[in-house]
């Protein structure tokens, strides 16, 4: 499978990546790891006239702590993120999530920025991004702009990316120290993408009640979401099996369950509940 003809240019800097997009008259497309874009181009589902390769802009590979957030450069590969000491220490949920993306070879090429910018409704990363209050940092023609992930991703493969701009980083809020987290995924047996992916963070205070909980769910519909009804039900409660079951019943509340030849919406709703339950059990009840 060979893509249609296109031209190819390297961008050496963020500024140049923006300029090359302006000069391409709408024909240009950024390429990072190429692991979402090239498969589409091979099937000729997308036919950009010019690929602007941003993969050598080394400043976009940095991971750093900035106040109460971890800023992950857009070009950080899934593999690098899963091994990064700063990520593992402060936002282990992200490491846990990207470790489960695709396979070894895919994780070596695919990037955090590309995954978010592609906004694939079946991607794993959005679950962690929603649970960790991610913000997408975008450099555009008029300077830098920061968008919360739930405003950035607005539909399947649809984002609020302004024209001629580039995601430079994604930042994630560091959850309170006493919390624990997990990403659980039921993957499609052929593609490896999640049919449902639940990213959960929770913790109990000294008196034994749940004082922090965040749940992000991906894969089940057109867009990932935060299961706020589950969160609200659990806050202020003492963790117990009964409590977890009751709360998890609401896991599909904020989501719109997809319906396709692989799974019915009823089944997706069921999976949402089951995987939320398992995730919460593993962080709130297991020692």
Partner 1 sequence: MAIEDREVTVVVNGQERSAAVEPRKLLVHYLRDDLGLTGTHIGCDTSQCGACSIMVNGEAVKSCTMLAVQAEGSEITTVEGLGSIEHLHPMQQSFWEEHGLQCGYCTPGVIMAMLGLLKENPNPSEEEIREGMEGVICRCTGYQFIVSAVQKAAKLMAEAEEQKEETLVANLVREGTHNG
The nearest distance, CB 176 to partner 1, in angstroms, is 31
Q: Are 285 and 239 in contact (CB under 8 A)?
A: yes
Strand-pair category, 194-204 with 7-10: unpaired
Q: How many CB atoms lie within 10 A of CB 206?
A: 7
Q: Does 192 bind ligand FAD (CB under 6 A)?
A: yes
Secondary structure of residue 283 in the 3-state scheme: helix
Strands in 225-226's sheet, in edge-to-edge order, are 180-187, 194-204, 210-218, 225-226
Q: Are 29 and 8 in contact (CB under 8 A)?
A: no
Whose Cβ is closer to ligand FAD: residue 74's or residue 227's?
A: 74
Query: What are the residues binding partner 1 (CB under 8 A)?
Result: 1-8, 31, 34-35, 38-39, 42-43, 49, 51, 53, 55, 79, 102-106, 108-109, 190-192
Site string for ligand FAD, 12-41 (x = CB under 6 A): -----------------xxxxxxxxx-x--
Whose Cβ is closer to partner 1: residue 101's or residue 284's?
A: 101
Q: Does 193 bind ligand FAD (CB under 6 A)?
A: yes
DSSP letter assigned to residue 61? G
Q: Does 113 bind ligand FAD (CB under 6 A)?
A: yes
Q: CA geometry: angle at 169 spanning 251 and 178, to 5°?
A: 50
Q: Which does 108 bind (CB under 5 to 8 A by kind): partner 1, ligand FAD, none?
A: partner 1
Which residues of the chain form contacts with ligand FAD (CB under 6 A)? 29-37, 39, 54, 74, 101-102, 106, 109-111, 113-115, 117-118, 120, 123-125, 166-167, 192-193
């Amino acid at each position: 499978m060979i893509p249609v003809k296109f031209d190819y240019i390297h961008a050496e800097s963020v500024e140049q990546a923006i300029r090359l997009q302006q000069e391409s008259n709408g024909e240009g497309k950024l390429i990072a790891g190429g692991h979402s874009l090239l498969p589409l181009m091979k099937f000729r589902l997308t036919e950009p006239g010019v690929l602007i390769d941003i993969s050598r802009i080394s400043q976009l590979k940095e991971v750093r702590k900035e106040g109460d957030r971890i800023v992950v450069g857009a070009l950080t590969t899934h593999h690098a993120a899963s091994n990064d000491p700063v990520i593992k220490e402060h936002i282990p949920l992200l490491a846990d999530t990207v470790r489960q993306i695709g396979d070894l070879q895919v994780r070596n090429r695919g990037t955090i920025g590309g995954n978010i910018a592609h906004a694939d409704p079946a991607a794993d990363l959005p679950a962690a991004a929603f649970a960790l209050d991610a913000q997408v940092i975008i450099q555009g023609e008029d300077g830098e702009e920061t968008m919360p992930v739930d405003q950035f991703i607005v539909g399947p493969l649809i984002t609020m990316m302004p024209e001629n701009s580039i995601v430079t980083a994604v930042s994630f809020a560091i959850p309170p120290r006493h919390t624990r987290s997990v990403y659980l995924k039921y993957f499609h047996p052929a593609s490896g993408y999640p049919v449902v992916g639940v990213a959960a963070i929770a913790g109990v205070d000294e008196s034994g009640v749940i004082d922090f909980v965040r749940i992000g769910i991906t894969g089940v519909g057109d867009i990932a979401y935060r299961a706020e009804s589950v969160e609200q039900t659990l806050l202020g409660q003492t963790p117990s099996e009964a409590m977890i079951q009751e709360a998890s019943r609401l896991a599909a509340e904020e989501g719109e369950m997809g319906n396709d030849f692989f799974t019915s919406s009823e089944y997706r709703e069921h999976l949402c509940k089951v995987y939320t339950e398992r995730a919460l059990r593993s962080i709130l009840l297991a020692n």
